[in-house]
Structure 1
Amino acid sequence: MAASSSSQGSQGKETTDELLARLNLQEEEDDDFVWEEELPDLGVPAKWLAIARVHTSRTFSPNALYGDMRAAWNPARTVVWRKIKDNLFTAQFGCLGDWNKAMAEGPWLFRDQAVIMVEYDGFKKPDSIKLDKLAVWAQIHRLPDNFLIEPAVRGMESRIGDVEEVQLKLPAGFFGEFVRVRVKIDINAKIKRFVTCKKGDERVRYQIKYEKLPVFCFNCGECGHWHEECGDGVHDETKFEWGEFVLADNVRYRQPGRGGFGSQRGRGGPRNAGGRGKGRE
């Protein structure tokens, strides 16, 4: 009897995909419900709806996330959050201004970890949506004059991600020999430190600096942890191939330590240049 009870308990915890793989469906269970044919057109598609996750494997309180994002965005209208499952949420914005700020003025950090958001239509299976790209502002330093044209900059920066915007002329508050590019990087890839340009037989590398990054590892160059959490945490720091040098000069930095998930914090530039949003002020 006990064995039977245990078997029933384990079956009750099976996921939908596991059940579908194990069970033979009845004809009625496998009969498709077709939205377009069986329901009238509702007329109002989902708008200002995002799906989001935090790039961390650690547990956290959803209410803490909601509160930190509310502090960072300071929305004019209430943002309605819904938890889909652990570390997967939807956020419904109430006006265009709040939507544009949240979607275009990041990256946003929660406890120094990246909050990744994309637009969501409200219909697709949430688990099918890839949340692996983070939009950041990157600086390419000391480009020669002949490369200071948008096609050349886009071509170089496309090697590190999907280019969204190029600023050849620096906004107010920025000074230096660099151009700014807003680019979507793969959050699971190693942070790129250089772009390479080849013209004829000459091959030159130009350094990239990021205006704001989530916590990243000086040992392996990946986001989401720092070096004391990489492997067994014991490393020769003189051999680190990543470090503060990937952060732009207008970024304040602190070593990982207590608090939150424990970490570095990169903060963006002037608020009028797309550098706002720290998670918690």
Structure 2
Amino acid sequence: MEENAAGKAKAAVLGAADSPAQAGASYASEEGRGESSTPEPKEDIESMLKRLEITAEEEDAVDLSGLIEENRSSIKWAVIIRVCLKTPFSHTAFYQKMQVAWAVAQEVSFRDLDEFTFIAQFKCLGDWKTALHGGPWLFRRNAVVIEEYDGLVNTEMLALDSIRVWVRIMGLPELVRNEPAARAMAVKMGEVLEVELGMNGAPYVKFVRVYMRIKLMKPLLRFVSGSVDPGKAPRKFRVLYEKMPRFCAQCGVIGHVADECGDGAHDPKKFQYGDFMMVPQEEFWYQPKKEYVARPQASGARGRGRGRGGRSGAAFHNENVHDPNTIPKNTDVARLKKRDLGIFGNLGRVGSLGGHQIGFKNGHIGLDDSGGALVLTNTSVKVRGAGNVIRRTGWTKPASGVYKLNVDAAYDVDSGRGASGAIIRDAGGNFVAAACDYTDHAIDAVSMEASALLSGLKLAEQFGAQSLTVESDCLEVVKAVTDPEDFRGASAVVIDDCRHLLMMLGMATLQHCPREANGAAHELARHGSAHGARVFWFDDPPSFLIPVIVEDRVLII
């Protein structure tokens, strides 16, 4: 009876509250009356435990340790991932992009924790190691934080505020070019995970490499200081980063650029950070796996292998790239013969085109690919004129600061099925983004080409490209979009949508191109048709597209 009376009294105090949750809301409303209605930050459990007095019953722990081992297999080879973006993005696109970047042997399962945080579980140890140790990984040029997940840690308590990167400490004297000295210097930048003093038994002579975990919100270090000569001022040693997400030239913090720092109004002449902190791409080479080079095929090289840093094969550098021990005898691989000049050995004549050092002989082409040593075989190369300059009709680069979008379609008249492909590249021929799509109900070939153009423009809009050159090899669609007269074909509505989106993109132009200049988009359309799939790729291209991109790039016009 006393409990019932107490309950009635409590109900009277709560008034109109229908539930404990509503009651809590009533109390909060009473306490906050007359003050700002802005909600207070959510208190974490650690703060609560410090503030509140815990009762004996609350302290009485249940032993769950016996249940851990029998459930451990369900969380084997898992990682927790946070994408350092501030705006929403397609989770499906992210899952696909990361599996391509990791070059996984088996499919990975993902589950969302929140809009930017995920658990990924791998099916084999090799894929797990690559994801955990092969970074830093990027998504749309932003950092992807990856840490080991054991199923016991409270995911809400994880900071996930650092990334793993390879850095070089330059110019250390030989007597202190050792692991203890490297660790002592590198600890100023973050947590040291590994020190590499050389490769294949040969020590580095210009630097030491350190694999480490650095904080995202801490300005990057450009130098580390060390006292070498007693009685003399400390020396400053340069720090170079091998691969990094975008960072601010104004404040040096990862995750934004100068235009997004403060009010964005900064004098570029006063920037304190920039590309001078990065290892030049021509000084960082990779040795392709043997099975991926020197194989005759119709249109280019095979896909590339996987190595530390997310690139191909094993890393090697300026000072040891010429070492015969690093060059398989049965393959045509890059050799560096003098500083900052990549030359491909065993290929006969050597030519230079568009800043890329190339060599060619008997249908084999070697190229630097801005960091990856590749060999294309049996490509359709024509050598004309003096100076060994390669010329051909093909993909042309856009103007500086402009992106180029190529689109193409595939259509099967018998089945009525169609597919589209779209690829965006920058002025250097570098991959930016791509997509392929598929439909069971295409009207005709021209309608499918129009749909391909619309899909490509939507991809450009999603990427945020404003200065854009768009190319299609379908002259009928190009004329329909650019001609002010009404187009009355079956795809008239799609054509109108293309016109509207072109205007919305701002500085965008549409032009016709020959088929041989549209090979990458064609391959994407073929992929969509063969797999009946809609797929997006950002930052890193799919493996089947690499030969076409590389061929376009080395023969860039």
The answer to whether TM tops 0.5 is yes
> Does residue 355 of structure 2 align to residue 95 of structure 1?
no
- For residues 19 and 103 of structure 1, do their structure 2 counterparts lie closer, same or farther at Cα, with a shift above 3 Å needed? closer
- How far apart, CA to CA, are the structure 2 residues paired with 1:63 and 1:171? 40
User: Where does residue 197 of structure 2 map in the other structure?
Assistant: 168
Match of 1:43 among 56, 70, 74: 70
Aligned residue type for 2:267 = D
Gaps of 5+ in 2: 1-15, 26-38, 49-54, 284-308, 317-370, 373-537, 542-557
Distance 2:59 2:173 in 1: 63
**Counterpart of 1:114 in structure 2: which amino acid?**
A
- Seen in structure 2, the aligned counterparts of structure 1 residues 166 and 41 have a Cα distance that, compared at 3 Å, is closer
Alignment pair present for 1:244 and 2:275: yes
SS at match of 1:160: coil
Q: Could you list the runs of 5+ residues in structure 1 that have no partner in the other structure?
A: 22-26, 253-266
Q: Which residue pairs with 1:60 in the alignment?
A: 89
Structure 2 equivalent of residue 280 of structure 1:
540
8 A Cα contact 1:212 1:268, kept in partner = no
Query: Closer, same or farther in 2 for the Cα pair 1:186/1:84, shift >3 Å?
Result: same
1:117 to 142, 146, 169: 146
1:152 alignment counterpart: 181
Q: State the SS of the aligned residue for 1:151.
A: helix
Distance 1:210 1:117, change over 3 A: same
Indicate the structure with greater helix content. Answer: 2
Tell me the CA shift for residue 147 of structure 1: 1.3
Structure 1 residue 43: deviation in Å? 2.5
Counterpart AA for 1:151? P
Q: Is the 8 A contact 1:170 1:180 kept in 2?
A: no
Stretch moving more, 195-204 or 88-97: 195-204
What aligned pairs does 1:205-220 form with structure 2 within 5 A after superposition?
205-220=236-251
Aligned partner letter, 1:54: V
C-alpha deviation, 1:176, in angstroms: 6.8
Instruction: Give CA-to-partner distance per residue, 1:195-227, whole Å, 9 cap, x none.
Output: 110132330000001010001000010011101
Q: Quick check: 1:116–1:132 contact (8 Å CA) kept in 2? A: yes
Q: Are the equivalent residues in 2 in contact too, given 1:211–1:269 (CA < 8 A)?
A: no
Residue 106 of structure 2: aligned partner: 77
* 1:105–1:177 distance in 2 versus 1, CA, 3 Å: same
> Within 1, Cα distance between the matches of 2:44 and 2:250?
41
**Structure possessing the higher radius of gyration over alpha carbons:** 2
| Residue in 1 that maps onto 2:208 | 179
> What's the CA shift string for 1:55-103, capped at 9, x where partnerless?
2222212112111101101211111100011211100111001011111
Return the TM-score normalized by structure 2: 0.41
Residue 166 of structure 2: aligned partner: 137
Closer/same/farther in 2, CA of residues 181 and 171 from structure 1, 3 Å limit:
farther
Matched residue of 2:225: which SS? Answer: strand
Closer/same/farther in 2, CA of residues 192 and 151 from structure 1, 3 Å limit: same
Identical aligned residues as a percent: 37
CA deviation digits over 1:134-169, x for unaligned, max 9? 110101111111111111111101110111111111
User: For this pair of structures, how many residues does the alignment match?
Assistant: 253
Q: Where do residues 14-25 of structure 1 align in structure 2 (5 Å cutoff)?
A: none
Q: CA 1:150–1:18 in structure 2 vs 1: closer, same or farther (change >3 Å)?
A: closer
Q: 1:212, 1:251 within 8 Å by CA — same for their partners in 2? A: no
The residue identity in structure 2 corresponding to 1:43 is: E
The equivalent residue for 2:260 is 229
Deviation per residue, 1:250-272 (Å, 9 max, x gap): 279xxxxxxxxxxxxxx877641
Query: Could you say which residue in structure 1 is the equivalent of 2:546?
Result: none
RMSD of the alignment, in Å? 3.6
Task: Label 1:269 to 1:197 Cα distance change in 2 as closer, same or farther (>3 A).
Answer: farther
Match of 2:231 in 1: 201
